[in-house]
Amino acid sequence: MFDALFLGLSAILEWQNILAMAAGVIGGVLAGAVPGLSATMAVALLLPLTYGLSPLFALGLMAGMHNGAAYGGSIPAILLRIPGTPAAVATTFDGYPLARSGRVAHALKVSVLSSAVGGVVSAIALMLIAPPLADIALRFGPPEIFWVSVFGVASTAVLMGKDPVKGMMAGCIGLFLGMIGLDHVTGVDRFTFGLIELSGGLPLPIVLMALFGVPAAWMMAEKAPGAGLDVGGLDLKREGDRLRDWPWRDILPAWLRGSSIGVFIGILPGLGGAVSSIVAYGSQKQASKDPDSFGKGNTSGVAVAECANNADNAASMIPALTLGIPGSGVAAIVLAGLLIHGFESGPQLFTDHAETVFGYIWAMMFTSIMLILIGGGLATRLFAQVLRTPPMIMMPIVVGLAVIGTYTYENNIFNVYLLFGLGFLGYALDRLSFPVAPVILGLFLGPKIEYNLRVSLLISQDDPSIFWTRPISIGFALATILVIFYPLFRNGAASLCRSWKAGRAARQPR
């Protein structure tokens, strides 16, 4: 492991890879600072452009874009109370009151330092947890991989969004999309409608751009034309407090709590930085001696939220790299990037391509540190000006990048038609409040589910008991059942609690 660590370190520190990481951070902060552009969409637009680049150069770009966008979302959250990314929602709670009280620079400094701390802790967790987990994953056979994949789709479908039913329906849509193309066992085309371009299935990078990029661009077009968001009324030039004057007794525990919660939630597929930051913020508020100060400009509220949502970044790659189950939308895109460059995700990745994997882990750490250099000071003021860009200008830029990236992926005009066709699907899903992540995960894991189901039945000679007679299979099967029925248990417990309280109140004498 140590040899691989140092090989990855020496590889990622080549000058061209350092430039790639810096460019990714700058692009990510710019993307995150524009409301409507997410880290997932930014990395998805970047993915086809990395084809033909060296693997570490491409992964360095994506790592920088990932961490940069996670921090960039805090800029409009603090300045305008508009989260640039979903993960920055909790940052608005105290960041905006801090800005309105005249401490804009202080809030932005706390945000960038907290983001860097969370990112570094998350990268260390990825470095320490992923290799042992990969060794365990080597013991997985087709039945275990089947249940792990089903668990990944089920957990994402149920836990993402407000409506578990819509989440499950979205997951089923993804599974159906994953069935399009050539049957790998029988060699028969399925749902291709005679189009030879669909025989290889739906290209994941194009689906990602279609479901994330195109709907976001169309929603920008729906906004009123005119000037972008006004940031002129906020004093971005005012200096923040000196570091020694910060309330470190509150900030350090906030960093510890935020990074711990962010890493834990990041490992669980389908939750993401938004859940991490909100859970961490609530935990910090409950643990505080002055909970009433939260929501009114408490520095530790900004610190814990930003630390948690950035700690989620590298942690979401732990199940992706070791088990092939992306913990987030960006993780799914990174796996697609690995596939483009000929790397198959899973435990064998750490043995067959250790230098590349550990180089990517180091890139996640270094790009987190780069946030302090690139995302602080003058750069923050410059990035904030991106908010002035009118939506009617941003929309054609986003669509143009998507079309160029789609066409250059395989130099095939059919992919452009596919981009807009699936874009309508993504727009409809957004309008109907269906989560998109389960669709992506269903598409990505659907072929794995089907393949391992059929291989398992071939091994057992059509005996289905193979799926519940092995210890690991039993564990993931039970976990899947619990996840699917979790909303019923939660609603039932809440109903019983309300009934008990109502009965107790009725019995008390008046």
Q: Are 456 and 467 spatial neighbours (Cβ–Cβ below 8 Å)? A: yes
Residue recorded with tokens 């907290």: 114
Q: In this predicted structure, what is the pLDDT of residue 389?
A: 63
pLDDT tens, residue by residue, 473-497: 888 888 888 888 877 766 655 555 5
pLDDT tens, residue by residue, 288-325: 777 778 877 888 888 888 898 888 888 888 777 777 77
Task: Using pLDDT thresholds of 50, 70 and 90, give the confidence band for residue 19.
Answer: very high
Number of H helices and E strands in the chain, helices first, is: 23, 2
Q: Single out the residue of 208, 442, 173 nearest to residue 337, CA to CA.
A: 208
Element (H, E) at 299: helix 299-315
Query: Which residues make Cβ contacts (< 8 Å) with residue 322, sequence separation at least 6?
Result: 130, 133, 134, 137, 346, 347, 349, 350
Label each residue of 421-438 as H, E or C.
Answer: HHHHHHHHHHHCCCCCHH
pLDDT tens, residue by residue, 139-159: 677 888 788 778 877 876 776
* Structure tokens that stand for 301 in this block: 């509220």
Residue 231: is its pLDDT beyond 60? no
**C-alpha pair distances (Å), 415 with each of 202, 210, 402, 405, 433:** 9, 10, 11, 10, 26
pLDDT tens, residue by residue, 337-395: 877 777 777 667 777 777 888 888 899 899 988 888 876 655 556 655 555 567 677 67
Q: What is the mean pLDDT of the chain?
A: 77
Higher pLDDT, 102 or 357: 357
Q: In this predicted structure, what is the pLDDT of residue 240?
A: 46
pLDDT tens, residue by residue, 37-63: 667 777 877 777 777 788 888 888 888
What sign has the CA pseudo-torsion 307, 440, 57, 341? positive
Residue recorded with tokens 């089947």: 146
Buried b (16+ CB within 10 A) or exposed e, 364-391: bbbbbbbbbebbbeebbeebbebbebeb
Residue 272: is its pLDDT beyond 60? yes
**Length of the chain (residues):** 510
Q: Are 91 and 77 spatial neighbours (Cβ–Cβ below 8 Å)? A: yes
Q: Are 25 and 46 spatial neighbours (Cβ–Cβ below 8 Å)? A: no
In the chain, helix, strand, coil percent, each to 5?
75, 0, 25
Q: How far apart are CA 251 and CA 259, in angstroms?
A: 12
Overall pTM > 0.85: no
Q: For residue 245, count CB atoms less than 10 angstroms from its CB and return exposed for 0-12, middle for 13-18, buried for 19 or more.
A: exposed
